Amino acid sequence: MNADLHCHSTVSDGCLDPAALVRRAYANRVELLALTDHDELAGVAEAAREAAALGLRFVAGVEISVSYVEDTTIHIVGLGVDPRNPALLAGLADVRRGREDRARRMADELERVGLRDALAGARQFARNPEMIGRAHFARHFVASGLMPNVNTVFEHYLARGKPGFVSHKWASLDEAVAWIRGAGGIAVIAHPARYHRLSSAAFDKLVADFIAAGGEAVEVVAGAHTQEDMLRFARLARQRGLLASRGSDFHGETESAVDVGRCNPLPPDLTPVWSRLP
Q: Which residues bind ligand AMP (CB under 6 A)?
A: 13, 38, 65, 133-135, 150-151, 154, 159, 251
Contact 91, 179 (CB under 8 A): yes
Contact 166, 109 (CB under 8 A): yes
Contact 210, 172 (CB under 8 A): no
When the beta carbons of 232 and 238 are compared against Mn ion, the nearer one is 232
Window 74 to 113, contacts with Mn ion (CB under 5 A) = 75
Helices (H), 124-226: 134-143, 150-153, 173-182, 200-213
Q: How far is the CB of 13 from ligand AMP (least distance, A)?
A: 5
Given 4, 13, 40, 175, the residue binding Mn ion (CB under 5 A): 13
Q: Are strands 186-189 and 217-222 parallel, antiparallel or unpaired?
A: parallel
Nearest-CB residue for Mn ion? 75
When the beta carbons of 56 and 115 are compared against ligand AMP, the nearer one is 115
Q: Indicate the residue type of 121.
A: G
Query: How many Cβ atoms sit within 10 Å of the Cβ of residue 148?
Result: 9
Q: How far is the CB of 81 from ligand AMP (least distance, A)?
A: 19
Query: What H or E segment, with its residue span, contains residue 217?
Result: strand 217-222
Q: Which stretch binds Mn ion (CB under 5 A): 22-30, 162-170, 203-211, 246-254?
A: 246-254
Binding of residue 46 to Mn ion (CB under 5 A): no
Binding of residue 219 to Mn ion (CB under 5 A): no
Which residues contact Mn ion (rule: CB under 5 A)? Answer: 13, 63, 75, 190, 249
